[in-house]
Amino acid sequence: MLNVRSALVTGSNRGIGLELVRQLVGKNNGPEWVFATCRDPEGPRAQDLKNLAAKYRSVKILPMDTSDPSSIKTAAAKVTEKLQGAGLNLLINNAAIVRPNTLELETAEDMAEVYKTNLIGSMVVTQAFLPLLRKASQESPQKGMSCSKAAIVNVSSEAGSITSLLAWEHGHVINYRCSKAALNMLTRCQSLGFAEDEILCIALHPGWVQTDMGNAAGPAPLTVDASVGAALNTLGRLTEKDNGTFVNWEGAAVPW
Ligand code: NDP
């Protein structure tokens, strides 16, 4: 079972990110801290998150634009301060964008912008929080790897699977697919690079979910509640044998 002292979610003001925060703090043995980061905490799209933070003292909203390295640095400094010498157990790189287009009309600008958020953003966020993840791993009495001890969860997509290319018929979205395929490679590299630190790294496909992004691709079958509930159960079951794998919300292996 997932049992973290602290967790951080990027892009947590709506969709899957918001639900991750909601279900993390709603648990009986909920974390002491859930750092709910988003790019515009004062904007109208953060109202639901603010309402949630008003109900739970453990929710700490922090501004973080994952495409802006200086805002990532500032957020990491604030989290370090709040944790008062303790580590961060669970980092969920959830923020992502998509620019709908066809293979023939895909643009260099959209490609670069989507990579900047979905891939480079996730990489820079992980680099910034790595010292805290290492600390969490070192201070944990648990043996082996788990998401309760220290983990990096990169929210990927089966749309980026080279084997299955989920929902090709619903849209080419080359920028998005390529960014997620690259994120999968990043996850594999992280899983090897951070194995000695006993930080578990996985790529997670949340399913086709009823969010702004999911519904834009057609009628999404999964509710946010069901996707996130199952995904958190899955995270709670992962061990070192899952390190560096690509799994879906129910814990089934997804082909790369
Ligand atoms: P939404 O479009 O509903 O939400 C995306 C979130 O990411 C928003 O909170 C958005 O913030 C945030 N975000 C985007 N860019 C940035 C940025 N530069 N800095 C900080 N936050 C940012 O998407 P979902 O909730 O559906 O998707 C969440 C994750 O799940 C993504 O990684 C997505 O690729 C993945 N996924 C989703 C699927 C689905 O069917 N929904 C299927 C497979 C994967 P803002 O409000 O400021 O725009």
Q: Taking the domains of the chain in order of start, what are their residue ranges?
A: 6-248
Q: How far is CA 79 from CA 34, 68, 124, 166, 197, in A?
A: 10, 17, 15, 36, 20
Distance 139 CA to ligand 1 centre (A): 32
What distance in Å separates the CA atoms of residue 193 and residue 39, rounded to the nearest whole number?
A: 29
Distance 96 CA to ligand 1 centre (A): 4
Total-model pTM: 0.99
What distance in Å separates the CA atoms of residue 194 and residue 203, rounded to the nearest whole number?
A: 15
Give residue ranges with CB within 6 A of ligand 1. Answer: 10-11, 13-17, 38-40, 45, 65-67, 94-97, 117, 121, 155, 157, 205-206, 208-209, 211-214, 220
For a mutational test of ligand 1's pocket, the pick from 18, 65, 94, 123, i.e. the residue with the most ligand atoms closer than 8 A to its C-beta, is: 94
What is the structure's pLDDT at 10? 98
Residue in this structure with the two tokens 């920028």, named with its chain if needed: 175
Burial 87-109 (b: 16+ CB within 10 A, else e): bbbbbbbbbbbbeebeeeebeee
What is the structure's pLDDT at 101? 92
Burial 220-251 (b: 16+ CB within 10 A, else e): bebebebbbebbbebbbebeeebbbbbbbbeb
Q: What are phi and psi of 254, to 5 degrees?
A: -110, 135
What is the structure's pLDDT at 29? 80
Distance 248 CA to ligand 1 centre (A): 17
For a mutational test of ligand 1's pocket, the pick from 211, 222, 249, i.e. the residue with the most ligand atoms closer than 8 A to its C-beta, is: 211
CA-wise closest residue to 114 among 95, 127, 129: 95
What is the structure's pLDDT at 72? 98
Which residue, judged by its Cα, is nearest atom 9 of ligand 1? 11
Distance 201 CA to ligand 1 centre (A): 20
Is the ipTM of this structure higher than 0.90?
yes
Q: How far is CA 27 from CA 21, 73, 192, 224, 232, in A?
A: 10, 29, 31, 16, 11
Q: What class does CATH assign to 6-248?
A: alpha beta
The one-digit pLDDT tens for each residue of the chain (256 residues) are 999 999 999 999 999 999 999 999 998 889 999 999 999 999 999 999 999 999 999 999 999 999 999 999 999 999 999 999 999 999 999 999 999 999 999 999 999 999 999 999 999 999 999 999 999 999 999 999 999 999 999 999 999 999 999 999 999 999 999 999 999 999 999 999 999 999 999 999 999 999 999 999 888 999 999 999 999 999 999 999 999 999 999 999 999 9
What is the structure's pLDDT at 16? 98
What is the structure's pLDDT at 111? 98
What distance in Å separates the CA atoms of residue 151 and residue 197, rounded to the nearest whole number?
A: 10
Amino acid at 58: S
Distance 213 CA to ligand 1 centre (A): 7
